[in-house]
Amino acid sequence: MSVLKPLDKLPALNTATGLLVGTEDALLQQLADSMLKEDCASELRVHLAKSLPLPSNVNRPRIDLIVFVINLHSKYSLQHVQESLRHVDASFFLGRVCFLSTGAGQEHHCSIHRNTVLKLAHTYRSPLLFCDLEVEDFRATMAQRLVRMLLVCAGHVPGVSALSLLSLLRSSETPPPEEL
């Protein structure tokens, strides 16, 4: 069983690579496009995958940040993310993973409860972001945020590491789901 490990390869010069994992390719593509529109000094690359594990015969750079995209309208998307999480090494969860939920704005289409993703993110000690990716403005803002996170995880932001960013995000979190 192939497992994604962070820091298992040498970084490429000035490159930051993100991996978006989610079942709806169109959404991932749009998000990747928005991320790449951002102006930044580093070379960005975005890999898109429906689920993990990734094909093993491919030569790919070190992955700095994994974003798991869950569509609250689709149990299928949650299932695939849950199965994919098993293929990620534990050390990735020290600030190099985040969860992104889309579709919360249309409550009547949601078949996954908000608490479910909150619990999932809490279990994996990783940040959970909400964004309706289908709305262009929201998507652009989220893309900016993700690029910033990606740069931190790639070590391109002096003085901030993935782990320190994680603890910064953690302190503003709402109380754990058991208390909700």
Partner 1 sequence: MDEIVAEFIRRTILKIPMYEMMTILKAWNFLSENQLQTINFRQRKECLVQDLVLLCEEKCASLNDAALLDIIYTQVHRHQKVWDVFQMSKKPDEDIDLFDMEQFKCSFKKILQRALKNVTVSFRDAEENAVWIRIAWGTQCTKPNQYKPTYVLLYPQTPYAFTSSKLKSFMPLLGQTFEDHNSITPLQERCLELDVNVDSRIIHENTVEKERVQRVTQETFGDYPQPQLEFAQYKLVTKFKSDLNGGILAERKEPLRCLIKFSSPHLLEALKSLAPAGIADAPLSPLLTCIPNKGMNYFKIRDK
The answer to whether 49 contacts partner 1 (rule: CB under 8 A) is yes
CB 27 → partner 1: shortest distance, Å? 8
Range in contact with partner 1 (rule: CB under 8 A) among 18-26, 122-130, 139-147, 152-160: 18-26
Contacts 24+ apart (CB under 8 A), 162-166: 162/65, 162/94, 162/95, 162/96, 163/94, 163/95, 164/95, 165/95, 166/94, 166/95, 166/125, 166/126, 166/127
Considering the rule CB under 8 A, would residue 48 count as an interface residue with partner 1? Answer: yes
Q: Is residue 47 at the binding interface for partner 1, with CB under 8 A as the rule?
A: yes
Q: Is 1 exposed, middle or buried (0-12, 13-18, 19+ CB in 10 A)?
A: exposed
8 binds partner 1 (CB under 8 A): no
Q: Does 26 bind partner 1 (CB under 8 A)?
A: yes
- The yes or no reply on residue 64 touching partner 1 (CB under 8 A) is no
Q: In the numeric block, which tokens belong to residue 64?
A: 């700095």
Distance of CA 83 to the CA centre of its chain: 15
Nearer to partner 1, 3 or 180 (CB): 3
Candidates 44-52, 99-107, 133-141, 167-175: pick the segment binding partner 1 (CB under 8 A).
Answer: 44-52
Q: Within a 10 A sphere around the Cβ of 124, how many other Cβ atoms?
A: 18
Question: Residue 173 CB, nearest distance to partner 1 (Å)?
Answer: 30
Residue 111 gets which letter from DSSP? -
**Site track for partner 1 across 75-114, x = CB under 8 A:** -xx-------------------------------------
Which residue among 4, 6, 22, 112 contacts partner 1 (CB under 8 A)?
22
Could you tell me whether strands 128-130 and 65-71 are parallel, antiparallel, or unpaired per DSSP bridges? unpaired
> 7: burial class by Cβ within 10 Å (0-12, 13-18, 19+)?
middle
Which residue's entry shows tokens 């249309």?
A: 106
Residues that bind partner 1 (CB under 8 A): 19, 22-26, 29, 32-33, 36, 43-51, 54-55, 58, 60, 74, 76-77
